Structure 1
Amino acid sequence: MKRTLLFLVTVLWSIGVMAQEAGVITRQSKYSVPETMDRIEAAVKAANGFQIFARVDFQSLASAQGGKIPPSQLLIFGRGTVLQPLLPQYPLAAIDLPLKILAWEDESGKVMVSYNAGEYMAQRHGIKGKDDVLKRITDATATFVNGAVD
């Protein structure tokens, strides 16, 4: 009975973790968080038409408030080409735009880079018939990340 209960708790916990990470793509970087984000930012700036809106250093923000967290930085960027195909019919999709990439250090000191898959927006916002736009979101973000972490 105890084994069965332990098994069920483990399975339910695992499902919760997987659901929490659904739609998020994560890759490991061989660089530090700042260097990884510098590399991603350079790739975005070099891409045609993309604009960087903000780069948030969460570790610095926490430190300024007397707290301490592992290194983590968020880059917010975009170029607006997905707005017209998505927002007129799915205005709540704007909560996931502009695009974002997070570089962060895990508990073992590994640097990870995470971003939302465009296809996740389809599930989250009930988007239908826009697979090409959502794939472009994933492909563009993956290109920036893949070039920066390898």
Structure 2
Amino acid sequence: MTAAAHPAGLRRRLALAALATPLALPALAQPAGAGDNGLVTLPSAHALRPTLDRFGAAVRAAGWKVFAEIDHAAAARDAGLPLRGRTVVLFGNPAAGTPGMAANPTLALDLPMRVLVWEDDQGGVHITRSTGADLASRVFARHGATIPPEGQRGTEALLDRLARQAAQ
């Protein structure tokens, strides 16, 4: 029986095609402050692993904690697929995040915070992060948490400092 003759097989193929299509598009680096998608991308002067190590050191120096790294390229290799470096770093401040999660339990879906350290097709390394305003309006707001403007500015300043320390 062909996929066209078997509805479940056709649905499965269409679902896989839908998932694969956006992944096939090239990654576009966005300079710091460009666009209004809530993301800031900085080029790093270092290779992927040193950038990750520098970011982790900056987080710890700020008194925060690195919870985990998710290495998407390693997972792709394990699946027999090629993927340039794509590592998500999960980090946060339990003293700051715990009260928010206690008041708004679903906030735990989006915390800890994260950055992406990734390689472009030319081998350049970049750090992409959310802005303080994006985190307040997109992440915290959906969980019923309000971040005042001064809190957004403080988050933005911290994230900018951490990313710059890793990239420079």
TM over 0.5: yes
Match of 2:57 among 13, 19, 42: 42
The equivalent of 2:25 in structure 1 is: none
Residue 115 of structure 1 is aligned with which of 114, 129, 137?
Answer: 129
Q: Is the 8 A contact 2:67 2:90 kept in 1?
A: yes
Which of 59, 62, 65 is 2:76 aligned to? 62
Extract unaligned runs of 5+ from structure 2: 1-29
1:23-45 CA deviation, whole Å, 9 max, x = no partner? Answer: 11110001111111111111112
The two structures have a TM-score, normalised by structure 2, of 0.66
- 1:141 — aligned with what? 159
Which of 13, 37, 40 is the matching residue for 1:25?
40
| Percentage of matched positions with identical amino acids | 26
Match of 1:96 among 87, 101, 110: 110
Larger CA deviation: 20-29 vs 70-79: 20-29
- Length, aligned pairs only: 131
1:141 is matched by which residue type in structure 2? L
For 1:122 and 1:47, locate their aligned partners in 2 and report how far apart those are by CA, in whole Å: 21
What amino acid does structure 1 have at the position aligned with 2:153?
K
* Equivalent position amino acid for 2:162 in 1: F
Q: Give runs of aligned pairs for residues 50-89 of structure 1, distance below 5 A.
A: 50-83=64-97, 86-87=100-101
Give the distance between the partners of 2:158 and 2:88, measured in 1 at CA. Answer: 16
What are the ranges of 5 or more consecutive residues in structure 1 without an aligned counterpart? 1-17
> Partner amino acid for 1:132?
E
RMSD, aligned α-carbons: 2.5
For the structure 1 residues 129 and 102, does the alpha-carbon distance in structure 2 shift closer, same or farther, using more than 3 Å as the test?
closer
Of residues 123-132 and 65-74 in structure 1, the stretch that sits farther from structure 2 once superposed is 123-132
Give secondary structure in 1 for the equivalent of 2:88: strand
TM-score by length of 1: 0.73
| 1:61-114 deviation per Cα after TM superposition (whole angstroms, max 9, x unaligned) | 111111110011111011134436755776655443211111101123221100
